[in-house]
Homo-oligomer: A and B are copies of this chain.
Amino acid sequence: MAESMQGLKRTHRCGELSVANVGETVTIMGWVQKNRNKGGLVFTDVRDRSGIIQVVCEEGTTDAAIIEKAASLRAEYVVAVVGKVERRSGAVNDKIATGEIEVIPSELRVLSESQTPPFPIEENSKTKEDIRLKYRYLDLRRPDLQRNLRMKSQVMTLTRQFFSDEGFLEVETPMLGKTTPEGARDYLVPSRIHPGSFYGLPQSPQLYKQLLMCSGVDRYIQIARCFRDEDLRADRQPEFTQIDMELSFVDVDDVIEVNEKYLKKLFKEVLDVDVQLPIQRMTWQEAMNRYGSDKPDLRFGMELKDVSDVVKDCGFAVFTGALENGGSVRGINAKGQGSMPRKKIDKLTAFVKDYGAKGLAYVALQEDGTVKSSFAKFMTDEQMDALVKAMDGEPGDLLLFAADKNKVVWDSLGALRVELAKQLELLDKNEYRFVWITEFPLLEWSEEQNRFVAMHHPFTMPMEEDIQYIESDPGRVRAKAYDIVLNGNEIGGGSVRIFQDDIQEMMFKALGFTKEQAYSQFGFLLDAFKYGVPPHAGLAYGLDRLVMLMAKQDSIRDVIAFPKIKDASCLMTEAPTPASEKQLEELSLAVKAQEETVEE
């Protein structure tokens, strides 16, 4: 069975050995990657975090007992090897860093045996994700996930060091906080000492960090765990991590400045990528007009064009109807896609329906100058020519149009633009295009709640010049809010906060809160604001998403050590699990039978 490592001390990690160590006696420890028995030779690849080293036993040279033991090794056994580093007698392996050397063992111990693992420990696993998540401890042995863990650790260390050097203090804020019924759903934690009462796990440290500004902390940073009990979409986790910061006595430019410096350093040190400063800024309005998205991917063009004016008098009722309803007609030009088969266009039409569009109108410009179009019959030739011209259409192009309310048109064409870029392989994961999106609307209308809701949160400062409209035309008010977008992903966002009583009151009124409602939720913050509050602003990054992009991964699960699946459960631990009667009793809680719930 298992041998002890007593008396041994590891001298090197496997991947740290090189020709510089030739002649030295070393002690390495790790997992057997593979083991080959070949003509009196036993080759054992030993793996640890740093890489792989080949251990070679040869009949006649190596002690017979060691050869026998080596020959019996199987994949994932844990071994300790004492031996001499030598230049390879056989062929050099260019694929691994230690490919020029091998270790000739004088001692070999089996520290731990292994059953056959349920899937091989190798790069780019083809094993189904749910099997890998069940055996996550094995999955994490794979080199790609090891690299991701390492990169995330590096990003966290570098982030803290950078902000510490910039005068930020790391302050821990509570996890067991106050639950607020507004906004996204809190995870609740029942209190045993106060039956019927609950803590809320934080959706972000927002209120605490503003309080820290009231306390004179001046510059705050925390890599903070956050929680949201929402139905999970592909790229969401019930718990996630924010790089969270707040600064006093600053305005938009100050926040942007220190964060640009941070991003430049981060991408240089981790990826050797040069981020050009200043990072481009774009207003929310421009981003929607040009890209149909507040997180535009700038790695490719295919911008939206507003052709409302061009088509306003045409005979195509879909277009004119949309305009009459206050909407718009916009299009994108898929260069060189004029010969896209009808079936594929139909698929794109189905695609945009997920975004609320009723359909997609197209114009396929043939190489011979003719036009295939779903709506040509409603247009005069002049109208069609004007439309093609407005879209910079050239022979071989495919023009795609949506006509609806602005929001629907933007959402549909914005998503379509990215979908086409994927299909046409226009997205280079090695290119990093940043953009700040600024001047977001302060409020957006919620059909569901039949009132304005805060686009960021209720403490976001309106732009000075728009405060006058907050009562008369709330939808027009722009906020001192900003998002940092990377390759079509919002990686961070924040705002300048309201620090004046009167503006805060206007804001609550615009949101339809009574003073009592505001106080019951945010009373301690409003109280704090009575005792001298500095102007302040902040920003938070989604750490998991940031690292996902840096690691060129497609899922945040690949950069989280122990992620949960869509139903918020953990395949490895099987959490959540039923509580015992005693646990429920202590919490003065009863679980309602499901039938009962249904009956009500």
Contact = CB atoms under 8 A, between A and B. Distances in A.
Interface in A179-197: 179, 181, 185-197
Contacts of A160: 156-157, 160
A113 to B, nearest CB: 7
A175 B239 contact: yes
A146 B216 contact: yes
Contacts of A567: 193-194
Interface in A99-119: 111-115, 117
Interface in A184-227: 185-201, 208, 211-212, 214-218, 225, 227
Contact of A141 (B216, B248, B580): B216
A306 interface: no
B188 A170 contact: no
A77 B212 CA distance: 16
A22 B391 CA distance: 63
Contacts of A583: 179, 181, 186, 188, 198
A586 interface: yes
Given A160-B160, A198-B578, A564 B176 contact: yes
B192 A185 contact: yes
Interface stretch (A5-13, A323-331, A393-401, A485-493): A5-13
A500 interface: yes
A91 interface: no
A560 interface: yes
Given A111-B534, A562-B173, A580-B181, A189 B192 contact: no
B227 A140 contact: no
B5 A251 contact: yes
A127 to B, nearest CB: 14
Contacts of A49: 216-218
A384 to B, nearest CB: 51
A587 interface: yes
Interface size class of A (residues with CB under 8 A): 35 or more
Contacts of A263: none
A289 interface: no
Contacts of A528: 137-138
B590 A590 contact: yes
A149 B171 contact: yes
A580 B185 CA distance: 12
A533 B113 CA distance: 8
Interface string A406-423: 000000000000000000
Contacts of A174: 239, 562, 564, 570, 575
A2 interface: yes
A534 B211 CA distance: 46
A568 interface: yes
A176 B146 CA distance: 23
Interface in A1-30: 1-2, 4-6, 9-10, 13, 29-30
B191 A189 contact: no
A194 B174 CA distance: 26
Given A181-B583, A531-B117, A534-B112, A170 B156 contact: yes
11 contacts: A2-B502, A76-B532, A78-B532, A112-B534, A138-B215, A172-B241, A178-B577, A193-B569, A194-B576, A585-B597, A588-B594
Given A138-B215, A181-B583, 10 more contacts: A77-B532, A112-B499, A149-B217, A152-B171, A157-B161, A178-B577, A188-B587, A191-B569, A524-B573, A588-B592
